[in-house]
Amino acid sequence: MVNVHLDFIRLLSASLSIYFCIFVGILAHVFCVFQPIPSHVVLKTLNAYVMNIGVPALVFLSLADADFSDATMYLFIAADTLVKLILAPGLWAVHSFQFHRRRAAAAADDDDNDLEGDFYTKYLADFMVIAFPNTFVIGIPLLSGFFDHGRVVRAMSVIMAAQALLLFPFCFVIGEMAVQARKTSARVVGTEGEASSTEAKLPCSCLPRPLQTALTAFLRISRGPAALATFGGIAFSLVSRSAGFRITDHNLKPMHGCFDALARSLFGVALVSMGLFTINTTSEGDGIDGDDKGGATDNLVSEQDTSGGAGASIGPMDVESIVPPSRKSRNWYERLCLLPWESLLLRFAVAPAIAVIASLVVGLRGEAFKMFVLMWTLPVAIVAFNISVLFNARPKLLEFGVTIGTILSIPICIAYYVILELVAGQV
């Protein structure tokens, strides 16, 4: 008989704090707490604080005290990489099969560029739904209800660093390929100018446009606050452990306290921002299939005009805007059935299944195995929605995965934990 070891009070505290902060963000919008500042401007500001101050402070603090001789950390990275390596070609094969079927059934006058653009768009959207778990805003406070907080923070920090440096450029390549395939003429205002300005910033302008975009994204991310905090934290840990001191020592308490103060403010601000994300009404949503043939430049300019670009103006979960006009019904039950529930299936069923396979292959066992699998039951990260808006890659599908997924993720995560305890035992 396997006993389920679960600290109910600790888990209840973590869960309620998440819901409470999100609810505070919703109430702040409803009661116009931030007036006369528009909510989407507040959302952009909070997101900028989270990404440029709070996350770097937490990443540096966690990595500065990390023990890089621990083999579990490298197994964690290997398992995460294997998930991406399984996911990317697997989804590509599924969407390629669907693409060839559609092209064979299409009329002779249909534009192959449109079909190809839809292929890249849907592939990118489905990939981001699975490959971008919300490891920081939801992951750290929720998983800390199951496991040691320090281990959770270090694991999520490592995953976030790998995700930012490798996953973002890959998504930008696919997104730019979708833009180029869907752009059938030069009538897309501003796209050509953006291409020349992008090329001017690159060390080699002879690269294809998708690779230019990926290289630009990689260089920009690698110089960002989170990346610098990652490199700084790793360097500090290596130097301090070789010299025989740690950042938690008494003599370094002032330094630790400064970063800790910023790190502690991260979760409350980020969760309030999530509440504003859910309720904000400034977005003008496209269909879930992204019928607009605009490019990355057009969407980016539009976002910067409305919300400064950092936070991406977000709309409410409006059934009318998510369901395509041809599929709308007067029956609310039918409308709910037409919502993109496949995003939740990908997020909460496909992703954990791949994670179990990957973790067993690389040799993750015990608590690390459970933590890794539960990480893949987290909702879609907001950054995935921002990328989908940038490339018009079914943004409403990602929005649905973020908002509804956040609400459902906590009970689903608890259910997976109980299953792992009962079935896996001491894997």
Do the Cβ atoms of 28 and 272 come closer than 8 Å? Answer: yes
Per-residue model confidence (pLDDT) at position 355? 94
d(CA 105, CA 156): 45
Do the Cβ atoms of 175 and 123 come closer than 8 Å? Answer: no
Q: Average pLDDT for residues 326-339, to the nearest whole number?
A: 54
* DSSP bridge pairs for 380: 133
Query: Helix 39-49 to helix 296-307 angle, to the nearest 10 degrees?
Result: 100
Three-state secondary structure call for residue 332: helix
| Confidence band of 6 (pLDDT split at 50, 70, 90) | low
Which residues, including other chains, have CB under 8 Å from residue 272's CB and lie 6 or more apart? 21, 22, 24, 25, 28, 46
**Which range in 2-16, 86-100, 323-337, 387-401 is most confidently predicted, on average pLDDT?**
86-100
Do the Cβ atoms of 287 and 319 come closer than 8 Å? Answer: no
Q: How far is CA 149 from CA 11, 74, 102, 214, in A?
A: 12, 19, 48, 34
Q: Where are the beta strands (DSSP E) in 274-368?
A: none
Q: What is the pLDDT of residues 237-260, one digit of tens each?
A: 999 988 988 888 888 989 999 999
Q: What is the pLDDT of residues 334-386, one digit of tens each?
A: 656 666 777 788 889 989 999 999 999 999 988 899 999 999 999 988 888 88
Within 10 A of 207 (CB to CB), how many other CB atoms are there?
14
- Tracing tokens 């396979």 back to the chain, one arrives at 357
Vertex 363 angle, CA 360 and 365, to 5°: 85
Per-residue model confidence (pLDDT) at position 411? 92
Do the Cβ atoms of 132 and 163 come closer than 8 Å? Answer: yes
Q: Where are the domains of the chain?
A: 8-278+294-310+329-424
Torsion of CA 220, 379, 11, 161, to 10 degrees: -20
Q: Average pLDDT for residues 115-120, to the nearest whole number?
A: 82
Per-residue model confidence (pLDDT) at position 73? 85
* DSSP bridge pairs for 133: 380
CATH architecture group of domain 8-278+294-310+329-424 = Up-down Bundle (1.20)
Within 10 A of 317 (CB to CB), how many other CB atoms are there?
17
For 118, the token pair is 């839809």
Q: What is the pLDDT of residues 280-296, one digit of tens each?
A: 743 444 444 444 433 33
Per-residue model confidence (pLDDT) at position 295? 38
Which residues, including other chains, have CB under 8 Å from residue 108's CB and lie 6 or more apart? none
Which residues, including other chains, have CB under 8 Å from residue 371's CB and lie 6 or more apart? 143, 146, 147, 151, 152, 155
Per-residue model confidence (pLDDT) at position 352? 93
**Which range in 32-36, 208-212, 327-331 is most confidently predicted, on average pLDDT?**
32-36
| Confidence band of 127 (pLDDT split at 50, 70, 90) | very high
For 272, the token pair is 């309030």
Residue 193: φ, ψ to 5°? -65, -35
Lowest mean pLDDT among 39-43, 198-202, 332-336: 198-202
Q: How far is CA 113 from CA 52, 324, 343, in A?
A: 38, 21, 25
What does pTM read for this prediction?
0.78
